[in-house]
A and B are shown apart, each in its own frame.
Chain A
Amino acid sequence: MQVSGRLRLLMIVFAGAFAAVEARLVHLQFRTREFWQKEALEARTDVRTVNAARGDLLDCWGRPLAVSRPQHTLSFAYGPFRQNTPIGQIRAASRILGLLPAYRDGSPSVAGILASPLEWSRLVLERSESDLAALPSQLRRDFGFYVRRLLGLSETQYTKAKNERGGPNLPLFTITGEDRDAVLARVVDAVVAQRAALAELARTAEQTEDVLVARVDEEITTLEGEVQRALDLGGIQPGAKQEALIRRDLEYRARELFRDVEFSAVFAVNLAPDVYAGFEVHDEERRFYPPETEDICPILIGKVNDPPEFLVKQTEERRARLLQLQSLPPEQMDQDTVLEIDRLRSMIRETDYLPDEEMGGLGLEALLESQLRGKRGWRYVETDSSGQDQTLLSSEPPLRGANVRLTLDSRLQAAAERVLAKKNWPGAIVLIDPTDGAIRAMATWPCPTRKQLREDYAELTKDPRAPLFHRVYQSPKNPPAPGSVFKIVTTAAALEAHTIGTGHVFECERSITRGRTTLNCLFHHGPLPLDVAFQKSCNVYYYKLGEAVGIEPIVAMAKRLGMGRSTGFGDPKFLELPDPSTSLREIDCAIRLTSTEKKSITNTMRSAIGQATFDDTTPLQIAAMIAPFANGGNVVRPYLIDIIGDTKAPREAPKSAGLSRSTIDTIAHAMTLVCEQGGTAGPDPNELRDLRPYRVSGKTGTAQVAKSDGTLDKTHAWFAGIVPHDAPKLLFAVFLENIGEHGGDVAAPLFNRLLEQPEMLEFLDMDPVAPPADPPNGPKKSPSKDSKSKSGAPRDPRKER
């Protein structure tokens, strides 16, 4: 009975034990079931973002200025590197040693190990177990791991050999039973072999080995900093188990080293995983500027860079906020919270910038950021325990950014830049379509190359020549005055107000005095009719004309011709874009006229020749201002962005300036005279200038520049007009900053050089003309001078030869 009772007791005990397991099953599979299901889902699923390719920037012919293309990016993860490569093993082992006071002085950088592999190998391999006794067990084990891998032993061999040899005071290299020098030579050889492999890898990135090693060291330093911060946050001692976890998380994160490495790197890294452990090459859509067009006005096209710190921080804040909201108990989850969670989640997933994402940082890349960027996609995947994707649960494909077509003609632009660069004069050339204001070229000088922009941006901002200002619509100093080019406006105002007829004569006495002010002309011209005064740019004629017309009609005319307001070609508001801080912001071109200035007769006179009241303009405005005289009387507003995606960018339709036919004809004709014999831009072999074969009409200008202290600086030179004048294809403005010469002497010849460029000739459908400097002895007698007709009939440029 007693024993039977004891058997029963045993059975009851077992029944109780099994019932406890059963109760545990109930707890797990019913009471906390949802929790475990959630944990399971979290463990096996992952959201992977897929970056969208940036939209292309194209010129008006569809030639690529900036495109997206897959690039091979070389990245580095420290974890596999330290485990599998000799340099990594030495580095990791010396880091552990560095925790001991006796070995604290060593700073184990990869560069340092490469510089003296023998010393570092000895430091690691000549340690004995008793040297390490002060370390936590985890670190001792890690150290043993690296030594074992360095010696090329399996775990079994190592443990066995370690247990069989003499004692804890023997150096670790004795484990293999080989001679000390043999062991060290073997390890050093392995380091040298890896060094050669790294040099090879550096070559695929077009870098030297030193640069690659320096980058690797930089990333390791960053990593150690991150580890330290995480340890401080958790209050974790070095060597604690948690450290290993934190390290594992951070060390296996791939960090970008170089972009756009050669394809051969893919092979190298995959075929020799032992020396290249830790290095990865992966494909990514990256911004690429085709070599043919990469140096086309980089400050206008812009560049991409990593998102600024504050955006990254903002994402972190959003992430924290999302976590907070998601953790709210169900009873506090109201409608607003749910909406906010959705909003935050989609922002983090789709719109927030990733730390290594490309973001437009300058020029059009910045202005059109929201169009070009596209939308990031994501893939919600189920992975296995090693992180390999197994099943795609749901996904949102990335949305490629819109392609943007500009009105710019990259070949004309290149020609204009070439001409400016050759002279190396600070200035600008702008070419505009006369019918609707499409900007075909806008060249500025000095202009950085793309390489300079990428690598020396900080220096460029400090450069006294102000290469980051685009002189077509910006000015590093005060905006330039138009000078005599403005006489077009004064003439138009006078003719429209019927102050004078087309044949009206004023006399030029070289100077004119009003009150205490004397204003001068360049020459003593004598009595002049309007068209000759315009052709020779006689100041006294225009002082008198201005005096006769008065300031208000001139201001009104200037406004009618589109001056006094920014052209708005890159205005985010006008383009219905969000307003990024952009290098496309135009300077303010307001017409400022105070009431005292209004009453001042000398101010009116000076305003008539494009100084005083009208001294804030840009080459872009001047070129646009000429449009009515080329297209039959319409004012155009310049624009640069033609098509975004497949919709036309907003633009202002040309509208009539309300000028009479005769006014337009008179001024157009006067502008052709400027380029004829006797005009300020007339043929002159000394100035290497003969614009007649190209049928150019225009107006020169020489603007006085006042320094801030009131003294005069070197003058600006202008030349603006129409080409060809009989069938206008382009409006142009050439502006040379502080050149100290007359517009006809420098700006017009410069434009002559531009016309000689094959791209320009092709665009204008003209034949090349021999440079006018051909006869060195004296001006060439042009036969066309006699056949010059007032009607401005087209002349065959071929006759000129």
Chain B
Amino acid sequence: MRRRKERFEEFDWHVLAVALVLSLIGCVFVWSTTIGQETGRFPLVARQVAYIGVSMPLIAVLVRVPYPSLARMSVPAYGIALLTLVALLVWGAARRETRGWVQLPLGFSLQPAEFTKLAVILMLAAYLRFRGPPTRWRDLVGPFVLAGIPMALIAKQPDLGGAITLVPVLIAMVLVAGAPIARLLSLFLIVAVVGVGFYYSPFIKDYQRGRIDAFFESIPEKTAEAQAYRAAGDHKNARKAEQELSVIKRQSNFQVYHAMISIGSGGLTGQKIGKGKHNRLGFLPERHNDFIFAVIGEEWGFVGSSIVLWLSYLLITLIFLIAGRTRDAFGRLLCVGVGTWLGAQTFINTGVATGLLPVTGLTLPFLSAGGSSMVASFLGVAVVLNVGAHRVTALDGYSFDRGGFAYGEPTGRRRR
């Protein structure tokens, strides 16, 4: 008993508490988006609570397994993840235009891509832990290939957002593993230059370029332009501008337009929970999952959405702090991977809802409706908690790789 207690000395309740608060806020707003329009056997919010309920015992179990043993599970987990993704591509049911879903009984469905991300993080952490700091160019090939294969498979579903989340995860993990910053920066520059060049190249079709332009088009400015034409009595140009505006609003940037309306009309304190007009009248698309942040913006206003945003930041900061306290590279990389994953997904999701980024279709961790996202996020938290709780044990000489710490002990330098 004493030993067990000692083992859980460093169990970080803060991380779990913040994650729980976020998921409860999520439940409130999932409820708000579904008032009066439930048709299924299980109300969405009840399912959401059930997912949280399912996640808690999972965390309890996972935290008890010392994390170094996870490293042994990394290869099978990665393999299963890849196999699942391939299987999904081949037999996956077409749903919402993506083949990323597995139908389960009772109307539930599973989105394996969410769990795949965790498997990839595990694999990368184990790989980087054994290979040591990727200081040379060719050291980067391994992690890039390991992350690249599932990214390609996820992107093929097609779920571009799910694939893109893995990019910051990969970069953060190789960065923390010790890759030279200059190399990563130069890589980034190359990607940026290629991207910009691609925009002006003939490979990209006009309508695709139009979509990119539409993203950068500011709706209020375009409206002002149309109004100026009207005021000058130039009805022809005004009609043309209005037509373009209508295409942006109703087609090329339809979802974000309504998300921005929702957030913008929230103001300082919002329209109260369950009273957001744009949400309640059904104008906001995907409001219970991808655009739940817009509902928060409308019903809780600036105050509420800022609280949610910075609570999420607090969560990843706490995770990074655990990483900072962990001297073992594997544990640290796991924390960095999970933290970056959650942080990147939160940033991309809120960035899309506020019109900062183009639409990708990512959930907001802990807040969006959906069991896979919720359980996967809590599993990520469980891994972090595990690292936090077991890092002392890990340092106590329990070596999981039998060969001791294989490389230059970056954690050793912090020893006081």
Contacts and interface: CB of A to CB of B under 8 A. Distances in A.
Interface stretch (B4-12, B67-75, B231-239, B366-374): B231-239
Main secondary structure on A side of the interface with B? helix
B281 A37 contact: no
Given A6-B175, A15-B313, A40-B261, A21 B350 contact: yes
B240 interface: yes
A4 interface: yes
Interface in A1-31: 1-4, 6-7, 9-11, 14-15, 17-18, 20-22, 24-26, 28-30
Nearest to A383: B281
B302 A14 contact: no
A382 B277 CA distance: 10
Interface stretch (A270-278, A323-331, A559-567): A323-331
A40 B227 CA distance: 18
Nearest to A21: B350
Interface in B151-191: 172, 175-176, 178, 181
A466 to B, nearest CB: 46
A385 interface: yes
A313 interface: no
Nearest to A28: B264
A22 B307 CA distance: 10
Interface in B294-333: 297, 301-302, 305-306, 309-310, 312-313, 316-317, 320, 323-324, 332
A585 interface: no
A115 interface: no
B2 interface: no
A20 B229 CA distance: 33
Given A17-B347, A44-B277, A24 B355 contact: yes
Contact of B247 (A22, A155, A242): A242
B355 A28 contact: yes
B260 A10 contact: no
B340 A18 contact: no
Contacts of A1: 413-414
Contact of B301 (A29, A155, A382): A29
A240 B172 CA distance: 42
Nearest to A32: B220
A783 interface: no
A36 interface: yes
Given A17-B347, A21-B347, A327-B228, A384 B243 contact: no
Contacts of B297: 25, 28-29
Given A3-B178, A36-B264, A233-B239, A22 B230 contact: no
Interface in A237-255: 240-242, 244-245
B240 A233 contact: yes
Given A4-B414, A14-B347, A385-B283, A25 B305 contact: yes
A33 interface: yes
B94 interface: yes
A596 B407 CA distance: 136
A35 interface: yes
Contacts of A382: 277, 281
Q: Which of A1, A9, A24, A328 has the most CB of B within 10 A?
A: A24
B356 A24 contact: yes
Given A29-B297, A36-B261, A14 B343 contact: yes
A324 B233 contact: yes
A581 B116 CA distance: 80
Contacts of A26: 302
Contacts of A32: 220, 264
Interface residues of B, number: 73
A778 interface: no
Interface stretch (B55-63, B195-203, B265-273): B265-273
A100 interface: no
A188 B246 CA distance: 39
Interface in A244-300: 244-245
A21 B283 contact: no
B76 interface: no
Given A18-B347, A22-B306, A43-B261, A10 B172 contact: yes
Nearest to A138: B207
A234 B243 contact: yes
Contact of B246 (A35, A245, A385): A245
A784 B263 CA distance: 100
A29 B324 contact: no
Q: Which of B260, B310, B316, B410 has the most CB of A within 10 A?
A: B260
A33 B264 contact: yes
A39 interface: yes
Contact of B282 (A3, A14, A326, A386): A386
Contact of B265 (A9, A24, A36, A235): A36
Contact of A33 (B181, B236, B267, B355): B267
A37 B261 CA distance: 7
A324 B233 CA distance: 6
Given A25-B305, A30-B302, A20 B343 contact: no
Contact of B281 (A33, A35, A384): A384
Contacts of A44: 277-278, 281, 283
Interface in B60-102: 93-94
A25 B302 contact: yes
A756 to B, nearest CB: 67
A15 B267 CA distance: 23
B231 A43 contact: no
A159 interface: yes
Contact of A39 (B238, B246, B261, B413): B261
Interface string B235-258: 110111001001100111000001
A653 interface: no
B175 A35 contact: no
Contacts of A30: 267-268, 302
A7 B238 CA distance: 52
B362 interface: no
Given A18-B347, A241-B251, A25 B306 contact: yes
A384 B280 CA distance: 8
Given A7-B324, A327-B230, A29 B266 contact: yes
Given A7-B323, A21-B351, A25-B297, A328 B231 contact: yes
B354 interface: yes
A786 B278 CA distance: 97
Given A7-B336, A20-B351, A21-B347, 12 more contacts: A3-B332, A6-B176, A9-B181, A10-B175, A22-B309, A29-B301, A33-B265, A35-B264, A159-B94, A245-B246, A245-B247, A329-B231
17 contacts: A2-B413, A6-B181, A7-B320, A11-B320, A14-B316, A17-B343, A18-B312, A21-B347, A21-B354, A25-B309, A28-B260, A30-B302, A36-B263, A44-B277, A233-B240, A244-B251, A245-B247
Closest 3 CB pairs of A and B: A36-B264, A327-B230, A24-B354
